[in-house]
Amino acid sequence: MPTKPSTKFLGGPIYDKLKAYCAKLGDQKVRGRTTSQLIEDAAQRKAFYVELDEELKKTVPIVINDPIDAELRLKAYLTHKLS
């Protein structure tokens, strides 16, 4: 079986931890809502979209001048966050 690009990029151990972390997110509440509630309740979904839009307006573009440095920083962040 060929290696997935994400596994190859992150390395097996980090990829496995990230995959396990993401798998748990579907069951967790975010801002008081579960994914099931967002899927089933149009009012909650609408409120979520408003909140998301507000958060996106606060963000600034990320400029990557050095892709190698960005890769190292991302891997270091994920290693620390997922440990």
Please write the tens of the pLDDT for every residue from 10-26. Answer: 888 999 999 999 888 88
Kindly list the distances between the CA atom of residue 53 and the CA atoms of 33, 46, 62, in Å, as whole numbers in the listed order: 17, 11, 18
Predicted local distance difference test score (pLDDT) of residue 19: 93
d(CA 55, CA 71): 25
| 2 confidence band (pLDDT: 50, 70, 90) | low
What is the DSSP-derived secondary structure letter of residue 3? P
Predicted local distance difference test score (pLDDT) of residue 1: 61
Predicted local distance difference test score (pLDDT) of residue 54: 96
Please write the tens of the pLDDT for every residue from 29-73. Answer: 888 899 889 999 999 999 999 999 999 999 998 899 999 999 999
Strand-pairing partners, residue 33, are 30
